[in-house]
Amino acid sequence: MTADLRFGVSLTTLEDRASWADKCRRAEDLGYHVITVPDHLSMPAPLPACVLAAEATTNIRVGTYVSNASFYNPVLFVRDVVTSGQLTDGRLEIGLGAGWARREFDQTGIPFESAAKRVDRLAETVAELGRAYHHRTDRPPLLIGGSGDRVLRMAARHADIVSFSGTAFDPQGWGMAYLTAEEVNERVALVDAELGRLGRDDVRRNIIVLRTQVTDNRPAALEDYSRFLKGTMSPDQIDELPAVLIGSPEEIAQQVLTRHKKFGFSYFTVQEAALDTFATVLPLLT
């Protein structure tokens, strides 16, 4: 329906080389534009997984989504990014965030510092990327993701893609909860104001879709999910969540277009569990 829309899938499980390559080829064959890999201890290491994803496919882009800047020395991380970009023939995209899951910091022995210090490390990494690619022509597109004011302003200034999480994180790092449509709209307005101040009009807006359910009984599915959330949100509230897509393929396609119009999202990333089901929606949107 619109050539501006872009769809990614976040792949999180790896059994062996062959099955990972097959899954990546399947994502490309189904019509996704980007394969992304998160940065969590229970999941594949993002950059090596991206390199193999690119080797196994032809045109689909690959990216980290998002690398936890607090886990890495900026100089060493950027060295690995440059190498990975070369090994993927320029199909690499780099997603960065400040990190939020305290239990993962505890597992690694890396101190879980204040949000301000974690965002400082993110800023250092962004600056190091800029230095490394200052005289190069093969800089990978940069995505910065988060929900806090400082991260979103940094994204507006430096990123090619601003990724909205659709959730709010516990400052102590123990969990997260959905942002309402009104709260997401306020986050988008903050970014829009910063982009306007900077005179930038070439930045893409991304949203991570945390739940995708293709069903022919949307009202019942919304009721079920409300119960799953222990009644913290009504079915009507869930229906408005930017990070949730529930309905028939046609209904979900309309939800995507509505979010595109309302929030300016032109890049949607679904979870691996929705790899096949969301693929039934793609022909209606591409």
For residue 66, is the peptide bond before it cis, meaning its omega torsion is within 30 degrees of 0?
A: yes
Tens of pLDDT, residues 46-98:
999 999 999 999 999 999 999 999 999 999 999 999 999 999 999 999 999 99
Tens of pLDDT, residues 143-152:
999 989 999 9
CATH superfamily of domain region 6-284? Luciferase-like domain (3.20.20.30)
CA 228, CA 19: separation in Å to the nearest integer? 32
Tens of pLDDT, residues 154-172:
999 999 999 998 877 655 5
Distance of CA 109 to the CA centre of its chain: 26
Q: Percentage of the chain with pLDDT > 90?
A: 87
CA 136, CA 130: separation in Å to the nearest integer? 10
9 DSSP β-pair partners: 35, 270
Outline where the chain has alpha helix (H).
17-30, 46-56, 74-87, 102-108, 115-132, 149-158, 181-198, 218-228, 235-240, 249-263
pTM > 0.75: yes
Query: Quick one: pLDDT at residue 140?
Result: 97
